[in-house]
Amino acid sequence: MIIVKLKGGLGNQLFQYAFGRLLSIKRNTSVKFDILSIDKRDIHRDFKLDRFNTKIELASLEEIKKSEYSFGFISKIWMWTKRKILRIYNIGYSEKIVNSREKYYDGYWQSYKYLEPIRKELLREISLKESINKKYSEFISKINGSNSVSIHIRRGDYVNDPKTKKTHITFGLEYYEEAIKIIKDKIKDPVFFVFSDDISWVKENLKINYPIIFVSDPEIKDYEELIIMSVCKHNIIANSSFSFWGAWLNQNQGKTVIAPKKWSNLYQKEYKNICPENWVRI
């Protein structure tokens, strides 16, 4: 059995879930998830993977302690050293880790390379238990009936939290304007469906000469937004694990996905393998 730690928001949790499923399938062993440390330091995060058809089994406190600190005090010292001194956060892809035999994994695992080998399983499992088609039939009908393009604009803590601002880039409207130009050259009569954690700001500032529908609303849960985003035929994403998943789950064979070249201020090298090679990076 292996245990994978879950932390951060929905997009992060999905990467960690996928990583655990990959190791479980590769090793033919069970995987359990540690949700005891869902990040509550700055922004309250909730465990949300149970909203999907995921294969989630939660690890007990006893199992976590036994796996995470298998060598007792020595393990605790080594874990502290990795985080505080060596600054090893396990953000990107590592073939060495995939082939390792550890029992407890703490990281972000943000790379498509962890996902592609088990794409069929993930597409089946990262689907909502409650039908999105019935609940949001009006949106889904408009998306299916047009050359729909999702636009995800991440602001929130990227703009308002000093610690997050230091790590992550906030892209201005110039990025989205360039992405829209690329889309219009590739796709006839695009209709843009906009998602954001600051939808009021977007409504005031995003001005485009194409049909535009603002999707985000307090009544729509983030896990529902994610699936609605994935139904769009094409995607323009931010440097956000949330919008990454909206695009990656998109099953349109001819999709165009536009993503930023730069993902992070501090850890850009760690993100070199985050996006599939056929996505357009600008």
pLDDT, one tens digit per residue, over 255-276 is 999 999 999 888 889 999 999 9
What pTM does this model have?
0.90
81 contact partners, CB below 8 Å, separation of at least 6: none
Q: Could you count the other beta carbons within 10 Å of the beta carbon of residue 163?
A: 10
* Angle at CA of residue 148, ends 143 and 150, nearest 5°: 100
Are 179 and 149 a contacting pair, CB within 8 Å?
no
- What are the residue ranges of helices labelled H in the chain? 10-27, 61-68, 73-80, 95-98, 119-125, 132-135, 137-144, 156-160, 162-167, 173-186, 199-205, 222-231, 241-248
Residue 42 confidence class, pLDDT cut points 50, 70, 90: very low
Q: Which helix (H) or strand (E) holds 188?
A: none
DSSP class of 85: I
Which residue carries 């407890």 as its tokens? 104
Q: How many CB atoms lie within 10 A of CB 42?
A: 11
* pLDDT at residue 160 tops 50: no
| Residue whose C-alpha is closest to residue 222's, from 18, 43, 92, 56 | 43
Say if residue 46's pLDDT is above 90: no
Question: pLDDT tens, 74-122?
Answer: 556 656 566 666 567 899 999 999 999 899 999 999 999 999 999 999 9
Q: What separation in angstroms does the CA of 71 have from each of 4, 41, 65, 78, 103?
A: 18, 28, 10, 10, 12
279's tokens = 């996505």
Per-residue pLDDT reduced to its tens digit, 116-153: 999 999 999 999 999 998 899 999 999 999 999 999 99
Q: How far apart are CA 3 and CA 127, in angstroms?
A: 23
The helix/strand/coil state of 280 is strand
Q: What 3-state class would DSSP assign to 258?
A: strand
Token code pair at residue 196: 């954001």
Residue 174 has a pLDDT of 93
Q: Which has more pLDDT, 70 or 59?
A: 59
Cβ burial, residue 106 (10 Å; 0-12/13-18/19+): buried
**Fold of the 132-281 domain:** Rossmann fold (3.40.50)
234 confidence band (pLDDT: 50, 70, 90): very high
Q: CA nearest 210: which of 153, 147, 260?
A: 147
Average pLDDT over the chain reads 89
